Amino acid sequence: MARTKKKAGGEVLMLRGTLYTFRRKCSNPNCRCQKGEPHESPALSYSVGGRTRLITLSDEDVPRVRQALERYRKASEALEAEALESAQRLKAELSERRAQRGARK
């Protein structure tokens, strides 16, 4: 598995998942969340082995996580395009080989 490059501010991340606002109520009966104003924080949701995992973030983590999600999306699109191109090359190669075999008969 390839490791990502390091930057001056730490390791460059590549993340798969969804960034969203996590809303929840605490157990304090006198808290504002019990009156309809839930606590909110940014969170990253991702799945591993069919199970959803959650990482709560601070506001300062959001830009870095957003960039890492975009990095993953671009890499995934590039990999998908490469796989499609390879399948098309294979199909053309096999078609050409079959045509050559047919011409020899």
**pLDDT for 5:** 57
Contact status, residue 57 vs residue 45, Cβ threshold 8 Å: no
Does residue 98 have a pLDDT over 50? yes
Which whole number is the average pLDDT over 35-45?
94
pLDDT greater than 80 at residue 97: yes
Q: What is the amino acid identity at position 62?
A: V
Query: Could you tell me if residue 100 is inside a domain?
Result: yes
Q: Looking at the 3D structure of the chain, how many domains does it have?
A: 1
Q: What percent of the chain has pLDDT over 90?
A: 71
17 falls within a domain: yes
Residue 53: give the domain boundaries: 13-104
Burial class (CB in 10 A: 0-12, 13-18, 19+), 38: middle
- The confidence score (pLDDT) of residue 11 equals 79
Question: 56: helix, coil or strand?
Answer: strand
d(CA 2, CA 14): 11
**Quick check: is 43 in a domain?**
yes
> Taking residues 19-36, what's their average pLDDT?
91
